[in-house]
Each structure stands twice: as C-alpha cells, then as structure tokens.
Structure 1
Amino acid sequence: MTPAIPPAMERPHFIGIGGAGMSGIAKILTRRGARVAGSDAKDSETAAALRAIGATVHIGHATGHLAPDATAVVVSSAIRQDNPELTEAHARGIPVVHRSEALAALMEGLRTIAVAGTHGKTTTTSMLAVGLTALGLAPSYAIGGDLDSPGSNAESGEGDLFVAEADESDRSFHRYRPEVAIVLNVELDHHATYASLDEIHASFETFADRIVPGGTLVVNADQDGARTLTARLAGREGPAIVTYGEAPDADVRVTALEPDGLTSRVTVSLDGRDGGGRREIAFRVSVPGRHYAYNAVAALAAGVAAGVPADALATALGTYTGARRRLTLQGEARGVRIIDSYAHHPTEMAADLEAIRGGADGGRLLVVFQPHLFSRTRELGAEMGQALALADACVVLDIYPAREDPIPGVTSQVIVDAARAHGADVTPEPHKDAVPDVVAGIAGPGDLVLTMGAGDVTELGPKILARLSG
C-alpha cells in the first residue's frame, strides 16, 4: 500500500535537505511521487543520493531556490529565522512546516513504531527496519542515520508498518501517534530546550500519552530515568506497558548476555504476550557492546507488541550489521583500525568506549573527540572528560557549534581538564587539519582509533588512513 501524498506535500521545498532527518522525509516523499526540492549549505553524498531518485537539490541558500509553485517549506529546529528561503516563504505566504509535522503526515494510515530515548534511537530504529525488511514485511522507515550507504536512512515500503525515530530534543516527538513506542532511556540532555530532568520526564510522559488507544509502550526496566517514567505513568489510563532488561520484574527479561569479540549473544525470557507462553529465545547481535544488545531486545519487544512473531524477529534482528557512524569500521592502515562513532553524550561515549575495548585485541584504544554544542559542553563537559579517561589516549578538538552561537567562557578545555583529572593522556588540538599527523605520531600496529562526536569529526577517518598509508 502506498499512502496518498498530503496536498501540502505535493511540491515541498526542504531547507537543509541534506540533514539526517530531513533527507529521509524528502526521500519518502519522492518515492511516493511528490516533486521534491530543497537546498543545503554544501554538497554531499546524501544530496547526490536524493538527486538520483529525482529530487532537486540546490547548494547554498537563496530566495531563487524556492520554486514559484512550492506547496510548503519544510524546516527543522536548526534553521535560523533569517534564512533567505524561510524569509521568502513567509513573504509569499507559503506554509512553513516543521520536519516532525511532515513526518507525522507520512505516518497517516500506517501502524507506527516510534523509537525514543536520550541514546540509542538510531540503532534501535535501524535494527527494526532491517529485521522487519528481512521478514518480508516491507516497512516504511525514517532513521536519523544511514544504514549502509548515503540515502539509506529512509524507505517507503508497501507494508502497513512505519518505523521512525522520535526526537525529544525540541519536543517534536509530541506530534506522533504511534501504535507502539519505545523509551530506551531518559537522561538530561538538550539543555537549550530543557531546564531540568523533571521537564524531560514530563516531555516523555506527553509522548507516552500520544500512543493510540490499545497501543503499547516498551520501556527499559534497568535505566533509572526510564524506571522513573514507568512509575510516573503507573495507575493511569493509557497504553499497555512492557518492560525489558535484566531486572527481575522485567516483562522481557535478559537472562544472559555473552560478548563475543565485535558481536554478542543474548538470551531473553518472554512473558508470553505473543501467545507462545513464557519461554526463552537466544539470538546473536552482530554489533559489539552491551548497549547494542539492549537495543536489540527493545526492538524485539516492540516488534512482538506490533504482532510480529518473536522467534522469527529475533533471528532477523541478527542480520543488522550496523548504521553509519555507529561504531563503523572506516578502514585499516599500517595495522591501525579506524572506527567512527556518533557518540556525543557522556553515557554514549562511555558505552562505545567499553564496547570497542572488547575488540581491541590487546592494542591501545585512541580517541579523537569533537564536542558537540556549547550548551552541552557547559553542562556535561566534566562527564565527557571522565568518559574519555576510558581510552589509552585522546585528542580533543574544538567544540562543533552546529546550530548554536558561542557561549562566553565555554571551550573544550573543560573536557581536557576533566579528562586529565581522571588520569587521561590528553592532547588538545584546535586545528582539525593537524589531527592526522598527531594520530600518525602516536598510533601503532594493533591500535584502534575512534573518531567520536556528532559533528564533522567523521571526515577525519579517511584522512587519518591516508596519512598512515603515506
């Protein structure tokens, strides 16, 4: 089934069309037959992938890029109000639609599984997309990262399921009406939006309240913030709640988790909600780390809640081999492996560092870290430094500002100081172009180099490999 295109989305213009979230929506609309156009600050593989399926992509932002017959202008929270295309849209009376509104419109008429949480959304959504596709269910999906190639972050499938990341950073996940929702964890982040952890919990409560009648909330039984959310929801009318984890009271209980190099094997005890009675299922997770195994269990619980047979889905989840920038091997040179990580919050950073250390084969773990956002660094810089102390050595870059203006006095030095206070070997390096030489000077055969952060640090991997090969 191919849902009809909403009239406002027949000829949309995306400002920032190359972004992870925006490009996925643009791809789905193009696949459904909309005449999609947009602009981005610079050309990219993602822009090329969109052009290849028929979208028009302009480089740079200018009023002339906005077609005379555009039916809507789609923006994300990162787009500034003085953007010339946005200003032109307002002047011409063209409706301006937030990215989340456009995504919600694409979900209409489909059974949605929405994945939320402070960490792990992209991986869990990807696992579900891959697993459901492997079972021949042809889901539609929108992911905040590519699976295996540029443009693979979204698909318009023929099935009745739609799997989507639900972003809490700007409260936009309040616009969705899922049949099944996952909450992986709840921690304080996105400090420009939320002033306290209580505000975060209230926001996730609102998200849970948006689940359709008769639907299900799948929530982590082991993480403190998620357990608090479950307690806050207890005793009220709303969705069925299914918990997962190692806790004795978890509905989908992890009874064994065995790391095996860069994979793991997990055994879960199901509560019989799928009609099969209480029983255990063991399956392989083809990516490293305890946190990724937990993501797979959450995906399994959500799929079962949507009516997918547990045994078949468990096997299908093992076909997931990773998403780009989620512990992605970029290559090897002179005996040094380069792996890329999107981790930018201290919890994510520590989890990825612990996962990778298990596959280091006796070599050292070296990290090139780029902090993301001034506000996040101000609030969590000390914890970032503590996480980096898990590495044998690290190089810390300047803060990647993304959508933010600088905050006086906030620099990556706070991370450097905290890492050193925890005994870390830290090299601050404000010049990104110098990093390949720095890494080449300290990396040796058997070492793992992890480029880490949500900014453009990912571009350094190929450059480090080239320098090592030279």
Structure 2
Amino acid sequence: MNIDNIRQVYLIGIGGIGMSALARYFRHLGCLVCGYDKTETTLTKQLVAEGIRVNYADDFTLIDDSFKTVDEHTLLIYTPAVPSDLQIMNQFQQLGHPLFKRSQVLGLISQSRFTIAVAGTHGKTTTSTLIAHILKDSGYGCSAFLGGISTNYNSNVLFSDNDIMVVEADEYDRSFLTLYPDIAVVTSADADHLDIYGDKDHLHESFNLFLSQLSSGGKRIVKDGLPFEADIRYSADGPADIYADRIRIENGAFYFNCVTDAGTLADIHLGVPGKHNVENALAAIAVARQLGISDDKIAKALASFAGVRRRFEYLVKNAETVYIDDYAHHPEELKAFLSAVKQLYPTKRLAVVFQPHLYSRTRDFADDFAQVLSIADTLLLMDIYPARELPINGVDSRMLLEKVALADKHIMNFDDVLDYVRRHRPELLVTVGAGDIDLLVEPLQTILEHA
C-alpha cells in the first residue's frame, strides 16, 4: 500500500476518536472521504460539516460505487471494535478489497516521518497532546494523531509541513506494534485489556516488543518503576533522570519544579490540574528537551495547555457548583482523577456519576473499582457499558455497588441522574467513564447553569 497514491478512503467505524483523526487527515490531503458508524454523534456531525460523508445504516447499497472497485487509489480502513458480522465489511471483503486496521494505516503514515509514539494503559492521550502542544506552541511544529480532542486546537489531528509526527500508540489489540518510533514514551502498564492479553505478563511482553522497535539511536522515555529498559526515566514521586519537586496548589492551579542533571526548571505552572498530569508533563518535557526546545518555551506551553476534552474538563465552575467530566475507566485512572478533585476541593461534598466500561474489566477489577469509588460522598452508578462485549453472568453494576463502602449509593439510568441533579444540585459533581455517559454532559451542564 502506497499512501501517496490514495485518492479515496472509506472508514468503517468512522465515529471513533482514532478513526475520525484518520478521516480528517485524508480529507486534509484532498481525498474523497466517506464512512459508516452505527450512531450519529457530535463527532460524526462535525465530520459531515467538514465535508466527510457518513451513513448510519449497515447497507452496502448506500455506499458510492466508486468505492466498490478494487484499485490502488482506494483505501478501506476498519476498527477492530466493529462486529465481525457487519454486512458492509463482509461485502467489501467478498469483492476482494484489502481492509486495513487503523493501526496499520498509522504505521504506514509514520514510516517516512520522525515519530514520537506515546504508549500506556492510561496517561497516553494527555501526554501525547501535551507533547504536540509544546511542539506547536514553541514554533517547532508537528503533525499529530491524538486519542482525544485537544481543547487548544479543537481537533484530534494536527498538521505541519515538517516530518515530525506525534502519535498515541494504542496497546489494545497490540495495535502499537505497527509503529517503529524514534522516541517512545511509556506512561503506564497496569493490568488492562485482559480480554486480549489474558494476564499482566503478556501485556508487559507487548510493551517490551513496542520498545524494541525503536529506531537506531532512538530514545525510550519510561515512567520510573515500570519494568522496561529505558534511556530516560521520569517520576512525580521522587528522584529519577527527570522528576518533580515541590508539587503544590496556588490559587487553584498546580505548580511544580522540574529537576534534571542539567538543573532545575522552577515554578512551572501547569494548565491542567492533578499530580497525574504533573507526571504526564514530565514525560512531555523530556521529549521536548530531546528535540532541543528551550526551557522557557516549554514552560510557556505548559502554562497555556488547556487539556483534552473529557480529561478533567470543567463544564461548570461558579460559586454554587463545580461540574467536571473525565474519561477515566480503569481503577488507576479513576483514583488519580478523584484524588485530584478531592485535593482541589477538600471541603466540598463529592457526587460521582460513574458508568463502568466492559463486563470483563468490571469483573477483573471489581474490588479495585469499589475501593476507589468509596472516595465519593455520593455515588450514582450506571449500568455497565458493554462496547464490544456480551454480558457475563453475575457481572453487573449491582454486584459492584454492593462492594462500595458508602451509605449514599444508588443504581441510576440517564433519566434518574438528570432528575437527581435537578433536585439536589450537588456542589461538586463529576461524571466519569468511557461509554456513552458523555451524552449526559450537555443536559447536566444546562441544569447546573440555570437556577
């Protein structure tokens, strides 16, 4: 497959965050871009507004005839999240079309570029977006494929004339093994995706393979404490090659000192809150320094970083109510998020709306989830979002709720949550999860913004 020959692209599962970035990339190149997804979302509406055609019916007759001819100018991309019995995908295959995974296409695009790849079971979206922002804000420049919508740029894909590429390297389905980076970052490697890997050892095996694919002379930047070979280790908890000192909150904002062998970069103002984001910033600083970006430009970019949608995203912030939305769906992510919220607002009563993601993840980490959710004062627990999975006997939200050590805890659906917030108007509200809980965000924001 020669990417330079592509004139038209069809994406199956175009509404996914990674797939939509590829759709925007090929549209930017002037290609005809179309796609399928099962439901209309805010993101698919944006794609349509940008000139990308999207259909929502699994009906092959709705697809332009030009895509049905097998030739070197047509590229078909699919996400592993789509079901195997999807008619559109099966009929493309029957016509003899080669179908490429999103990760394979990213690998092809990155082949001719200096690639900075950020991997990790959590932290990779914010870290890759931080790196891309530093490169953009400093004038260094980069293209980027991000796993979330950058608030600074209102997009999940960035473009540049240079050959520098920042990419989020996804461990799900071993997708990141299509990449051969020049700088590789690993932010975390907690047990996750056990439906794919089986156990933590096999997950770590894949991370080692990812790091082994580094180009000659490349750099491995790894969070301290992870069991992988590294050229640079970073930490927010103590001495490493690059580490944070004097993490503190001043006027509701996070500040820290960055310490390295070359000296200390003092009083860094980070535009997003949380110790976990200080850690992400350290990885981004390490990358930027490898590229020769000056400390003053790095510090300026960190202060202006506005974050990623659904990563500690403030929706309402006034004297009566604070409402924050976050994508956290693993116990470690959830712990980092809720701990940061509590640190910022220690006197406010915390109401948490949480939607578990996947039956298998809920089963595998039920005790961990329960322990973390017990940080809340009030828990509104929604049904498990199944995504690609079928139900597992005995695994449901009620099973999880029983393990949570709280008196004020409830199982609720969408309407129940909206009614609860109308009646109780929590002073500190968070919505957390990776399913369709984001559909609650706008109506909750509307309720809390109006008396």
TM-score by length of 1: 0.89
Q: 1:261 to 1:115 in 2, by over 3 A?
A: farther
Where do residues 407-446 of structure 1 align in structure 2 (5 Å cutoff)?
A: 407-420=392-405, 423=406, 425-429=408-412, 431-444=413-426
Partner secondary structure for residue 350 of structure 1: helix
The answer for the alignment partner of 2:275 in structure 1 is 290
2:172 maps to 1:169: yes
Instruction: Select the residue among 133, 136, 139 that pairs with 1:136.
Output: 139
Partner secondary structure for residue 141 of structure 2: coil
- Structure 1 spans left out of the alignment, 5+ residues: 234-239, 272-276
Return the offset for 1:432.
Answer: 1.9
Q: Distance in 2 between matches of 1:149 and 1:62?
A: 37
Whether the 8 Å contact between 1:49 and 1:150 is mirrored in structure 2 is no
Q: Distance in 1 between matches of 2:346 and 2:236?
A: 28
Q: 1:261 to 1:353 in 2, by over 3 A?
A: farther
Instruction: Select the residue among 373, 379, 395 that pairs with 1:388.
Output: 373
Whether the 8 Å contact between 1:38 and 1:65 is mirrored in structure 2 is no
Alpha-carbon deviations, 1:52-100, whole Å to 9, x = none? 3332222232212433333222111101111111011101111100000
Where do residues 14-413 of structure 1 align in structure 2 (5 Å cutoff)?
A: 14-70=11-67, 71-148=74-151, 152-221=155-224, 224=225, 226=226, 228-229=227-228, 233=229, 241-246=231-236, 250-260=240-250, 262-271=252-261, 277-331=262-316, 335-360=320-345, 362-413=347-398
Q: Distance in 2 between matches of 1:463 and 1:317?
A: 31
Q: Distance in 2 between matches of 1:261 and 1:414?
A: 41
Which amino acid letter does the alignment assign opposite residue 439 of structure 1?
Answer: V
RMSD after superposition: 2.1
Q: 1:107 to 1:151 in 2, by over 3 A?
A: farther
Q: Distance in 1 between matches of 2:347 and 2:203?
A: 40
Whether the 8 Å contact between 2:194 and 2:200 is mirrored in structure 1 is no
Q: Distance in 1 between matches of 2:235 and 2:211?
A: 19
Q: Distance in 1 between matches of 2:154 and 2:82?
A: 21
Which amino acid letter does the alignment assign opposite residue 345 of structure 2?
Answer: A
Which amino acid letter does the alignment assign opposite residue 109 of structure 2?
Answer: L
Return the offset for 1:10.
Answer: 2.7
Comparing 372-381 with 322-331, greater Cα deviation is found at: 322-331
Which amino acid letter does the alignment assign opposite residue 241 of structure 2?
Answer: D
Which amino acid letter does the alignment assign opposite residue 270 of structure 1?
Answer: T
Whether the 8 Å contact between 1:6 and 1:105 is mirrored in structure 2 is no
Alpha-carbon deviations, 1:204-241, whole Å to 9, x = none? 000001111100010011xx4x1x22xxx3xxxxxx61
Whether the 8 Å contact between 1:45 and 1:150 is mirrored in structure 2 is no
Q: 1:245 to 1:333 in 2, by over 3 A?
A: closer
Partner secondary structure for residue 127 of structure 2: helix
Q: Distance in 2 between matches of 1:260 and 1:62?
A: 56
Whether the 8 Å contact between 1:126 and 1:323 is mirrored in structure 2 is yes
The answer for the alignment partner of 1:452 in structure 2 is 432
Whether the 8 Å contact between 1:74 and 1:96 is mirrored in structure 2 is yes
Partner secondary structure for residue 153 of structure 1: strand
Partner secondary structure for residue 404 of structure 1: coil
Comparing 293-302 with 127-136, greater Cα deviation is found at: 127-136
The answer for the alignment partner of 1:463 in structure 2 is 443
Return the offset for 1:262.
Answer: 4.3
Which amino acid letter does the alignment assign opposite residue 440 of structure 2?
Answer: L
Q: 1:248 to 1:121 in 2, by over 3 A?
A: closer
Return the offset for 1:388.
Answer: 0.8
Partner secondary structure for residue 92 of structure 2: helix
Whether the 8 Å contact between 2:116 and 2:165 is mirrored in structure 1 is yes
The answer for the alignment partner of 2:70 in structure 1 is none
Q: 1:151 to 1:72 in 2, by over 3 A?
A: farther
Whether the 8 Å contact between 2:152 and 2:307 is mirrored in structure 1 is no
Alpha-carbon deviations, 1:4-38, whole Å to 9, x = none? 9433x431100111111100111111112222111
Whether the 8 Å contact between 1:32 and 1:156 is mirrored in structure 2 is no
Alpha-carbon deviations, 1:231-288, whole Å to 9, x = none? xx3xxxxxx61111156651112222112354211211223xxxxx444444111111
Q: Distance in 1 between matches of 2:133 and 2:238?
A: 30
Q: Distance in 2 between matches of 1:248 and 1:334?
A: 36
Whether the 8 Å contact between 1:343 and 1:349 is mirrored in structure 2 is yes
Partner secondary structure for residue 194 of structure 2: coil
Return the offset for 1:330.
Answer: 1.6
Partner secondary structure for residue 255 of structure 2: strand
- Structure 2 spans left out of the alignment, 5+ residues: 68-73
TM-score by length of 2: 0.93
Return the offset for 1:109.
Answer: 1.8
Which amino acid letter does the alignment assign opposite residue 231 of structure 2?
Answer: I
Which amino acid letter does the alignment assign opposite residue 258 of structure 1?
Answer: R
The answer for the alignment partner of 1:237 in structure 2 is none
Q: Distance in 2 between matches of 1:297 and 1:424?
A: 39
Whether the 8 Å contact between 2:134 and 2:288 is mirrored in structure 1 is no
